Structure 1
Amino acid sequence: MEALAIFAYAFSGLIEARKRRLDAVGAFLVALVTAFGGGTVRDVLLSRRPFYWVEHQDYMLFIFAMAIFAPYVLRVTSRLFDQRALLITDAIGLGLFSVSGTSIALDAQMPAFTATMMGVITGVFGGVLRDVLCNEIPLILRDSRPYAVCAFAGCWIYLGLEHLQVDTIYNVLLSTAFILIARLITFKFDIRLPH
C-alpha cells in the first residue's frame, strides 16, 4: 500500500512536470518532492532520522527510472488512463499517506490533535511543494473542494478505531477507504467549502 501511495504521488508529479515541459532532471525533482515532501516535513517536525526516503533507496531508484522514461511512460499511460483514474490514484495516496503519518506521530507519543495534523501534513504537503516548484499557487489553496478536510476526518477515524483497538490492518483499510470515498464524492458532486 505504501508503494502504491508513493507511485501515485510520483506519477502526479511527473504529469505536472510534463505539463511544464521539464527535462528528466526537473521531472525527477518534481516527482521526488511530490512523493516524499509530506513525509519529510513530518519527519523534520518529529525529529525522525534518517528520513524515510533515505532509508528506502529502492523507492528513490524507482522514481529515478520513472523520470528517465517519463516521456515514453506518459505517452502510453495518457492513452490508457483518463483524468478520473489519476484522481483515484491521488485520493488513494492521500488516504494512505495521511493514515501512515498519523500512525507514525502516535508512535512518537504525540497527542491526538498533533498526530492528526501530522497525518494531514504527510498527505497534502508533497502536492504543495510540487505546485510551488512548478510556480503555481498550491492546489490546496485555490481549489475549494475539500482535500485536506477529507484527510483530517480520515485521520480522526483512524484515531477513533485505534482507541477502540480495532486490528491495525482493518483500521488502515477503513480509514484510507473513508478518505478515498470522501475525496471522490466531493469531486463528483462538486462539493465546495464556503469562501
Structure 2
Amino acid sequence: MPDPSPDPRLLPVLLTVVEALATIAFALSGLLEAARKRLDAVGVCVVAGLAAFGGGTLRDVLLDRRPFFWVEHAAWLWALLALCIAAMAVLHARHFAPTERAMQWPDALGLGLFSAGGTQIALAQGMPAIVAVLMGVVTAVFGGVLRDIVCNQIPKAFSDHRPYAVCAFVGAWVLVAALALGMPETAAVLLAAAVATGLRALALWTDFRLPAWSSGHEPND
C-alpha cells in the first residue's frame, strides 16, 4: 500500500519558492520607495536589496545559519539587479501612485510567505515556539524597516497603524499550532502564509487601523 504521507523533499522546494516570491514582492516595494526619494542607481539597488533580503539576512544572523539564503541562491542577486535596471528604465513619477496601490497586494503576499517560511526555518533548527514565531516576524517585517530607515523615515510597519507585524505574528502562531496538531509541514506552511496574507489583505480592504498610543499630552504641550 503506498505511503499517503507527503514527500519530505517537497518542503525545501516549497520554502525556496516561498522566499523567491516574497523576495520579488519586497524588492518592488524597495524600488518604489527609492524612486520616490529620487535616489541614484546605487541607492535604488541598495534600498531594493535591503527590502528584499534584509529580514531574511537578519534572521539568518540571529539563528547563526550559513550560508545566507541569498548566498545560497546567488541567482536572486542577478534577478534583483535586472529588476532595478528595468524599473529605472520604465518607471516614471506618474506611475508611482497606481503602482504603489497595486503593490499593496503582492506585499501582503510577501508578508505571509516570509512569516511562514521564517518560522518554519527556525522550528527546523529546534528553536522554541516563541523564538520561531519572532524569527518569522523578523523575516517578514525587518526588510521594510531597514528600507525605511535608509530612506530617512519612520518605518511604516510601526507608524501607519494598519496591522502588519501583527498579521505576521498571528500567521506564525498558526504554523506552530498546525504542526502541533499533526498537520503535514507543507500544508501547515501554506496555511500559515494564507492566514497572514489574508489578515493583511482584510486590513487593507476595510482600512482597519490599530489605535495610536497616547500619553495624554499633545506633542506641543
Q: Into which bin does the TM-score normalised by the smaller protein fall?
A: over 0.9
Change (3 A) 1:72 1:103: same
Look up the match of 1:96. 113
Match of 1:48 among 48, 65, 88: 65
Cα RMSD over matched residues? Answer: 1.8
The one-letter amino acid paired with 1:120 is V
Match of 1:60 among 67, 77, 87: 77
| CA displacement at 1:85 relative to structure 2 | 2.4
Look up the match of 1:161. 178
TM-score, normalising length: structure 1: 0.93
Computing the radius of gyration from Cα coordinates, the structure with the larger value is: 2
- Which secondary structure does the structure 2 equivalent of 1:118 belong to? helix
Please say which of residues 165-174 and 112-121 is displaced more in the overlay.
165-174
TM-score, normalising length: structure 2: 0.83
- Which secondary structure does the structure 2 equivalent of 1:10 belong to? helix
State the alpha-carbon separation in 1 of the partners of residues 188 and 105 from structure 2.
20
Please say which of residues 170-179 and 117-126 is displaced more in the overlay.
170-179
State the alpha-carbon separation in 1 of the partners of residues 194 and 95 from structure 2.
26
> Any conservation in 1 of the 2:32–2:100 contact (CA below 8 Å)?
no
State the alpha-carbon separation in 2 of the partners of residues 126 and 192 from structure 1.
22
Q: What is the number of equivalent residue pairs in this alignment?
A: 194
- Which secondary structure does the structure 2 equivalent of 1:69 belong to? helix
State the alpha-carbon separation in 1 of the partners of residues 121 and 208 from structure 2.
31
Look up the match of 1:185. 202
State the alpha-carbon separation in 1 of the partners of residues 77 and 91 from structure 2.
19
State the alpha-carbon separation in 2 of the partners of residues 120 and 34 from structure 1.
14
| CA displacement at 1:150 relative to structure 2 | 0.5
State the alpha-carbon separation in 2 of the partners of residues 163 and 23 from structure 1.
48
Identity of aligned residues (%): 51
Structure 2 unaligned runs (5+)?
Answer: 1-17, 213-221
State the alpha-carbon separation in 1 of the partners of residues 210 and 85 from structure 2.
39
CA-to-aligned-CA distance 1:39-83 (integer Å, 9 cap, x gap): 1111111111121111111001110111222222434x949x644
State the alpha-carbon separation in 2 of the partners of residues 176 and 85 from structure 1.
20
State the alpha-carbon separation in 2 of the partners of residues 193 and 180 from structure 1.
17
Look up the match of 2:139. 122
State the alpha-carbon separation in 1 of the partners of residues 101 and 155 from structure 2.
20
- Which secondary structure does the structure 1 equivalent of 2:45 belong to? helix
CA-to-aligned-CA distance 1:72-104 (integer Å, 9 cap, x gap): 2434x949x644421110000001111111011
Look up the match of 2:34. 17
- Counting only pairs closer than 5 Å after superposition, residues 59-78 of structure 1 correspond to structure 2 as 59-75=76-92, 78=95
> Any conservation in 2 of the 1:34–1:127 contact (CA below 8 Å)?
yes
| CA displacement at 1:119 relative to structure 2 | 0.2
